[in-house]
Amino acid sequence: MTATVIDGKAFAAKVRGLVAEGVTKLKEEQGITPGLAVVLVGEDPASQVYVRSKGKMTVEVGMTSIEHKLEVDTSEADLLALIDQLNNDPKVHGILVQLPLPDHLDSDLVINSIDPAKDVDGFHISNVGLLGTGQKSMVPCTPLGSLMMLRDHHGSLSGMNAVVIGRSNIVGKPMAQLLLGDSCTVTIAHSRTKDLAAVVRQADIVVAAVGRPQMVPGDWIKPGATVIDVGINRIDKPEGGTRLVGDVDFDSCAEVAGAITPVPGGVGPMTIACLLANTLTACCRANGLPEPEGLTA
């Protein structure tokens, strides 16, 4: 293997440390404690694990963690009423509604009912529009974490050729906007891109966010390119059981790339770290205070 492995776990710990410092400063100098409210509807096992992890880390950095666990048959009216209550609570600076929601709830309606200033997931249509026009917004956590790692590894990204594989609203599109904001030349590729391999081979930066296990082989990678693997896929092991892999074939890509994120331990840990960073940023903005350095786009 020739590539430098970008340690997302260690970098996320560094980000959480910076958040904790910012929280301590807010408490000591302003008497303000950032508050993050997480709403979970139903009992999806993966969502329950995420919510527990988010709550634990929120407390560890000194923030107030507020959890609302609702029954799976909670009505849309009741959920919207809770969000309205959180929107109007000055002690709540960030609101996250855990996805996916049960089928009878309209996810777009629910997300767009959150106060955009408290939308720490960055999914509200207002934040999407602000990001797309280069204005100050709340930025989706996974793309923000990916951008932080790229900046940390390269310094300036100006003039680099970036290919984002995947066009989701959660990762692909906002990732492209962030890279454009850092003056990259950006291509969004997807399942219908003609000669995808040739497109990817032109990239100095490859962000794989397509949701297909080990889709990108090493011979698609330009020698020395940086590969950010957003995918988290569970596949069967020959000897039984399962293991987690990304959207790129790590072993073959690591032979060619200059730097690469592993799965697990790459982008994944950065998502919750950036959720905490976004909550701190939202708190500072709400109180007219300077934003924390190095924790925003």
Place of tokens 């990817």: 200
Q: Which of 115, 119, 121, 229 is catalytic?
A: 121
d(CA 124, CA 111): 6
Tell me if residue 214 is catalytic: no
Q: Exposed, middle or buried by CB within 10 Å (0-12, 13-18, 19+), for 286?
A: middle
d(CA 274, CA 145): 6
CA separation (Å) from 181 to 17, 184, 232? Answer: 26, 7, 26
Tell me if residue 14 is catalytic: no
Q: Which of 54, 118, 173, 222 is catalytic?
A: 54
d(CA 170, CA 288): 28
Q: Which of 98, 119, 182, 229 is catalytic?
A: 98
Tell me if residue 54 is catalytic: yes
Catalytic residues: 54, 98, 121
